[in-house]
Structure 1
Amino acid sequence: MTDPQHLSRPRPWGRFVLLAIAASLVGLSTRVIPRVFPVAARAVRKVMPIPQDTAKIETRRREFQEWTRRTVREAYDKVGKQDLRWNEQAHEALELATRLFSQQVDPEVSLIDVHTPAKAAIAAGCDDPYLVYLDHRSSVGPHDPGEQEMIRRMKVAARGLAASRYPAFRRAMALQVAGTYGLISNAAGARKEAERDFDASLALLPESIAEDERNEFWEARWFENLSSLIAGYRGLDIAAPAAYERVDAKLAQIPELTVLRLQLRGYFWFHYGWEARTQAFAPNVPVGGFDTFEKHLEVAQKALNEAWKLRPDARTAEYLLEIEKGIGGDRDTMELWFDRALTADGDQYNACFTKLDWLDPKWHGTAEEMLAFGRACRATKNWRAGITLLSGDAHLRYYSKLSPWQQARYLGSPKVWPEIKSVYDEYLMHRPSDDLTRSKYAVLGYLAGRYPEAHAQFEELGDRLTAWPTFPYYPLETMKGMRSKTAAIVASKPRPEQPPIRKPDGPALQ
């Protein structure tokens, strides 16, 4: 999420920035990168290695894939409409969907990959509801039929799947997706139909409890679905608390889901608190925003602490870590919840992102701690979860607080740029279609003055340049300007001993 600055903890950076600028004017910054963050008032604590139980992580990933296969491909073998005319194509599509849904790599799978065999099965006469749903759901990119036609197709496919014997949670997710599409439909009565789809999705929860194979992956899918249903009801202009209570009322009827209910309560009040506070800098927060923010996060914290007592897990720890950042600030408490989250799930990228945020000087840490944690993220070698990329994020955060005279010199330095390049190259080797990550890599290359490398990434992206939503970020139009400048610089082929001087592009949005 976008980051605040705390009124209660002023950051007297101005004096340090002026000193840094003065140093650069007399040539000192050509030899060292001046300190721009005051740290004398706060002791810098050593950043410990991030918990990474490799065997446990690999086991969990394998179990996720196996469970996904049982609820997709093997479900087709049990309850699907099979025929020798399309079974081969159907199995190929379902296996690719299994890999996609369970986030497998090497090779990476995209929706477009799923679409080809799914479409072939349909062309061969397949009318299995899950294959029909996959065909429509994967109609993206060159296969996109247009917004209104996609809405129509998803509605038909979801309702066909809802009437099938496929796992109830997959039917529920399809109905939720169809309802969400319905919110943007221009057809008469579309919003009423969307509400019926949301209600039908929620109504499948008891059946799912009774018949589906339940485990942490099943519960995670329902957590996602229920949180999306709250958003869907709000899209129907139902007040936020009423939308939440509509979902909570169903959970209240199912004692087996007490922990999930508490987690969803924590999730809702956490995000609703941030809505009251807004993403604005502290001076621009609406009157009463801080009080409401703290009140709502305390409700969330109470629910999540109850959930932890009943059953410790990574999702609960992750949200308690977020809350500690927002209304706490105690380092030991933060470290406790971080360690619990990563011990439970070594792929917990969100918890790592939150700790990096916590250690940012604008929250509770120091520049040294923030950069050290970025290096710890790189040391995990966990590119698959994206944790290594947070090393680049740490450098970008540090860069955003430097003066224009220092910025390119910092990111492009022989010590910093290889760290950034190594984590992005490794990640994109395995996930080449991640346009958002490649876009950030291109921007980092531009900001570092590494124009040939930035140009290569911009060229690979083509018209798929994507802005990222987290701090510090750049608007898409600014990124397009960077792309144009990079192309012009590379085309001019400047002499290596005289690199082009880049004018500041303005600060990142913070």
Structure 2
Amino acid sequence: MFLSSPSRLAISLFATLILATAGPTVAFAEESKPEIDPTADSRMQAMSKYLGELKGFSVDVDHTIEIQPEEGEKQSRSDKRHVVIERPNRLAVTVADGGESEGTVICDGKQLFAYWPSGQRYLLGDAPETFNETLQEEAALLLGAGRTVVQYATGDWYKQATASATKIALLEPEQVDGVACDRIVVSQQRTKIILWIEQGDHPLPRKMEATLQIETPDAESKLPKQLVSYANWELEPAITDETFAIDVPEDAEQVESLRDEEPSDEGPHPLLGAEAPDCELKLLDGGGQKLADLKDKKVAVIDFWALWCGPCIAALPTVDQVATKFADRDVAFFAVNLGDGADEIREFLEKEKLKLPIALDPESKLGELFQAGSIPMTIIVDKQGVVQVVNIGYGDGLEQKLCDEIEAVLAGKQLAQDALQAARDAQRGGKPIPNGPEAVTSKDAIEDQVAFNLRTSVEAYKKVGSRDDAWDDAAIEFLTEASRHFASAKGHKSQVELIAMAEPLAEQGCDDPLVKYCHGAMLQDGQPDAASQARALELVEQAYHGLVERGYPASRSFAAAERIHRTLKNDASQAAKAEEYLALSEKHALESALQDDLATNDGRTLYSHLNGFAESLPLERRQQFCEAAKAHEEKSPYVVNMLVGEYHLDAAWKSRGTNFASDVTEEGWKGFGEQMDLARDAFEKAWKAAPKRPEAPTAMVRVAMGHSPSPEREMRMWFDRAVEAQLDYRTPYSHLIYGLLPRWHGSHDRMYQFGVECMETNRYDTDVPYEFCEAVWRIMRDNQNPLGSRYAQRPGLYEAVRKICQGYINQGEERKRRLVENGVARIRLLEPAMGGGETPA
């Protein structure tokens, strides 16, 4: 299979150019003679020969595709690459500054390396001996704009570029960046290419323009136009081994194939499981074959290929060998060529000694009928005329795979049904949600928070607290219960109960600042009357100064200062005092960041408290706070980068605004992209520092949703990492459901299937199965859902809700049961007429 985004996107952008320069898209009838200007032809041959013989060179390539919609402004996308070539097989193709695509391909002469940053995957294998062989490797899919340069280096470019030309003409010369150039136009049936070739002894390509040709004259301006410039040529430069050094990123995963690892964005081929189109194949050796005539007699294997397609040429001998193996079986093989001339095909078959029956498709009509959008494509049709297999692309093990599939179809196996079911399962994407007993849950997170609270309260009290035998035991018990309360631990004491524990301590004269702080916090949160609120503020103010003086952990001083600021900030008469405590809160917040211990989960609690405070700041002041936090990045990489990333994420959306994408200004998009890149950098640093904490990958789900060349796949990758860190951390579920909305990167069916996936974890000791209800609720509320509330009548939906409710009831957890019942109530409110649906238990 071809790669999906970003690689699929890059291929779609460069497809026209690559096809135009690598060979014919559609050939013409044999009697059609091309018009060739000898001067133009000579210059093209000279360029091809010159570049094919240079020992080495380097060049910067800028490839831009421009699209003019019927309405709105022109849109463009640019791919910029720096390419270094050295014979016989060394190359380095890297992304240059300002490019919008990605991918690195390096061959050091011994190994071929291709890295895909978004997928954090790479290929590493033996180096091909020639550049032609490199172009046939899967790694070549990541060459982007650099592909044309590698084609030039093969020495075969002229033959490939002119194979299906109908006209080669010389235009008026022009200058490109001050360099005098011959201008040559190469016309094909559907493509026109204009080349600017440097005049003189160095016939270098300086510019290329490719456009599609169609019959409707007023539509040409709306078709994509591709512009390529070649600059900063260096001929036989001083190249060292460092130029081709392979540097494998630490966090990247080596894979056998990017194709196999990546789920297809497009799903199974439309013909899979369907009846094969009724058609007649026109054979190269004369005559024809109707597919319908093979019904009930033979299995048909049809391979779509073309001479310009490197993977096709690599795969065809294997298909030929398989055809020989099944020569005496009920199997008919046909290799349908798309667009090449009969003489060219015969020459190729003779050279390669291939005997495979060839069918001609000069105008690609069969290709369109069988929806062969990517080649090589091989389909297997059973004796009943049903398409059981559709294989796209070429890879290792093709022979065995094809033989096994043919044997299975001959045996009557329904491979299409299995493949379609597998595709439905794969549509979920990503890894299975980790639902085993070893999965980390909120119970573990609460235990971690209790442990942090105990270390910074009880243990701190024992070291620096105001201790006295008269209240020591009671103070420790009170701080222990307060630690459990602040963490919402199961069975924790209420505010009223904690106040009842604190009052005797105050009567005994306990003056410990942390005891006073916890006492004041319980009063403030649990006693709304004016007298209690005034006393609470007084206690917390006294506590703040004592916490600082006695050397309690900075997180405790921060909590007190921030609570005082929060209490005073809306009182105009206390503005100066509120500002004083705001500044103190910022100071202690920065000090608190240094308490993180990457060996524990302390940073999760610290980040939660500090980011809540940071988000309350005005954006400009928040920026200053984050800039100050960066000074502590080395000592506290997780907390600092999380704070910085969250700032940039919010700043990105502020730059963009809440308008529809079509209404966002150019300046808004620019600011959005810049801030998103900064957020990505910060969150990735945080994740690398503490990969077992879920907050960084959770934030990256939002980044991928808004700013990624492969959004759906990357959202799922970061979601997987988040729930691997904590199964029931609810925020990534919410982000992913939102990102799967049709207006973003998914569909209502994807949302529903994700909800089913959550339900099927059967982890009723967590909130995870309930996410099914959240997904349904989102779908029903979405204005792009034409069914509206009637979506609740989807077959099986209420059976699923009943199953979820019963699952929670069986757990005996009242809180979870009420949670789910609230979700069911939401659905009922949207759909008064239940259509006879029974109320879930």
Which residue does the alignment assign to 2:548? Answer: 162
CA distance in 2, matches of 1:192, 1:433: 45
1:217 aligns with 2:636: no
Alpha carbons of structure 1 residues 280 and 381: separation in structure 2 relative to 1, 3 Å: farther
Which residue does the alignment assign to 1:269? Answer: 648
Task: Give the CA deviation at 1:202.
Answer: 3.7
1:393 aligns with 2:774: yes
1:318 aligns with 2:698: yes
Alpha carbons of structure 1 residues 227 and 67: separation in structure 2 relative to 1, 3 Å: closer
Structure with a larger share of its residues in helix: 1
1:303 aligns with 2:682: yes
CA distance in 1, matches of 2:795, 2:831: 5
Task: Give the CA deviation at 1:297.
Answer: 0.9
CA contact under 8 A between 2:633 and 2:641: conserved in structure 1? no
Q: TM-score, structure 2 length as denominator?
A: 0.42
Which residues of 2 match residues 42-441 of structure 1 at below 5 A?
45-47=426-428, 49-52=432-435, 54-55=437-438, 57=440, 60-61=444-445, 62-83=447-468, 85-87=470-472, 89-105=474-490, 107=491, 110-139=494-523, 143-146=527-530, 149=534, 153-188=539-574, 189-202=576-589, 204-205=591-592, 208-209=594-595, 215-234=599-618, 240-253=619-632, 255-279=634-658, 282=661, 288-309=667-688, 312-313=691-692, 314-328=694-708, 329-382=710-763, 386-400=767-781, 401=785, 403=787, 406=790, 409=793, 414-419=798-803, 421-422=805-806, 429=813, 431=815
Task: Give the CA deviation at 1:227.
Answer: 2.7
Runs of at least 5 residues in structure 1 that lack an aligned partner in the other structure? 1-38, 235-239, 452-495, 500-510
Task: Give the CA deviation at 1:325.
Answer: 1.0
CA contact under 8 A between 1:202 and 1:247: conserved in structure 2? no
SS of 2:813's equivalent in the other structure is helix
CA contact under 8 A between 2:565 and 2:581: conserved in structure 1? yes
CA distance in 2, matches of 1:444, 1:120: 50
Which residue does the alignment assign to 1:477? Answer: none
CA contact under 8 A between 1:377 and 1:391: conserved in structure 2? yes
SS of 1:162's equivalent in the other structure is helix
Alpha carbons of structure 1 residues 79 and 311: separation in structure 2 relative to 1, 3 Å: closer
Q: TM-score, structure 1 length as denominator?
A: 0.66
CA distance in 1, matches of 2:700, 2:622: 23
Alpha carbons of structure 1 residues 46 and 113: separation in structure 2 relative to 1, 3 Å: farther
Task: Give the CA deviation at 1:397.
Answer: 1.5
CA distance in 2, matches of 1:129, 1:438: 44
CA contact under 8 A between 1:65 and 1:98: conserved in structure 2? yes
Alpha carbons of structure 1 residues 402 and 178: separation in structure 2 relative to 1, 3 Å: farther
Alpha carbons of structure 1 residues 275 and 254: separation in structure 2 relative to 1, 3 Å: closer
CA contact under 8 A between 2:562 and 2:585: conserved in structure 1? yes
Alpha carbons of structure 1 residues 324 and 187: separation in structure 2 relative to 1, 3 Å: same
SS of 1:336's equivalent in the other structure is helix
Higher relative contact order (CA 8 A, sep 6+): 1
Which residue does the alignment assign to 1:9? Answer: none
Alpha carbons of structure 1 residues 114 and 422: separation in structure 2 relative to 1, 3 Å: farther
CA distance in 2, matches of 1:137, 1:41: 62
SS of 1:256's equivalent in the other structure is coil
SS of 1:204's equivalent in the other structure is helix
CA contact under 8 A between 1:324 and 1:330: conserved in structure 2? yes
CA distance in 1, matches of 2:680, 2:837: 56
Alpha carbons of structure 1 residues 412 and 233: separation in structure 2 relative to 1, 3 Å: same
Task: Give the CA deviation at 1:316.
Answer: 2.4
Give CA-to-partner distance per residue, 1:57-82, whole Å, 9 cap, x none: 26944444334323233333343334
CA distance in 1, matches of 2:833, 2:501: 41
Moved more, 135-144 or 56-65: 56-65
Alpha carbons of structure 1 residues 497 and 276: separation in structure 2 relative to 1, 3 Å: closer
Alpha carbons of structure 1 residues 156 and 331: separation in structure 2 relative to 1, 3 Å: same
CA distance in 2, matches of 1:63, 1:368: 37
Task: Give the CA deviation at 1:164.
Answer: 2.9
CA contact under 8 A between 1:360 and 1:367: conserved in structure 2? yes
CA distance in 2, matches of 1:124, 1:423: 50
Alpha carbons of structure 1 residues 259 and 404: separation in structure 2 relative to 1, 3 Å: closer
CA distance in 1, matches of 2:581, 2:648: 24
CA contact under 8 A between 2:485 and 2:493: conserved in structure 1? yes
CA contact under 8 A between 1:318 and 1:337: conserved in structure 2? yes
Task: Give the CA deviation at 1:270.
Answer: 0.6
Identity over aligned residues, as a percent? 21
Task: Give the CA deviation at 1:129.
Answer: 1.3
CA distance in 2, matches of 1:64, 1:377: 26
Number of residue pairs aligned between Structure 1 and Structure 2: 409
Task: Give the CA deviation at 1:318.
Answer: 1.9
CA contact under 8 A between 2:513 and 2:542: conserved in structure 1? no
CA contact under 8 A between 1:324 and 1:334: conserved in structure 2? yes
Task: Give the CA deviation at 1:394.
Answer: 0.9
Give CA-to-partner distance per residue, 1:113-164, whole Å, 9 cap, x none: 5434234433443322112111221225651244973555544433333333
The CA RMSD over aligned residues, in Å, is: 4.3
CA contact under 8 A between 2:513 and 2:543: conserved in structure 1? yes
Alpha carbons of structure 1 residues 298 and 221: separation in structure 2 relative to 1, 3 Å: same
CA distance in 2, matches of 1:296, 1:232: 19
Structure with a larger share of its residues in strand: 2
Give CA-to-partner distance per residue, 1:439-496, whole Å, 9 cap, x none: 6665445445599xxxxxxxxxxxxxxxxxxxxxxxxxxxxxxxxxxxxxxxxxxxx9
CA distance in 2, matches of 1:348, 1:144: 32
SS of 2:636's equivalent in the other structure is helix
Alpha carbons of structure 1 residues 63 and 378: separation in structure 2 relative to 1, 3 Å: same
Letter in 2 for 1:139: L
CA distance in 1, matches of 2:474, 2:659: 50
CA contact under 8 A between 1:176 and 1:228: conserved in structure 2? no
Give CA-to-partner distance per residue, 1:70-129, whole Å, 9 cap, x none: 323333334333445545553443233222334422x25554554342344334433221
CA contact under 8 A between 2:440 and 2:724: conserved in structure 1? no
Which residues of 2 match residues 462-481 of structure 1 at below 5 A?
none
Task: Give the CA deviation at 1:324.
Answer: 0.5
Give CA-to-partner distance per residue, 1:296-354, whole Å, 9 cap, x none: 11221123334445553433222222211112243332222222222233343222222
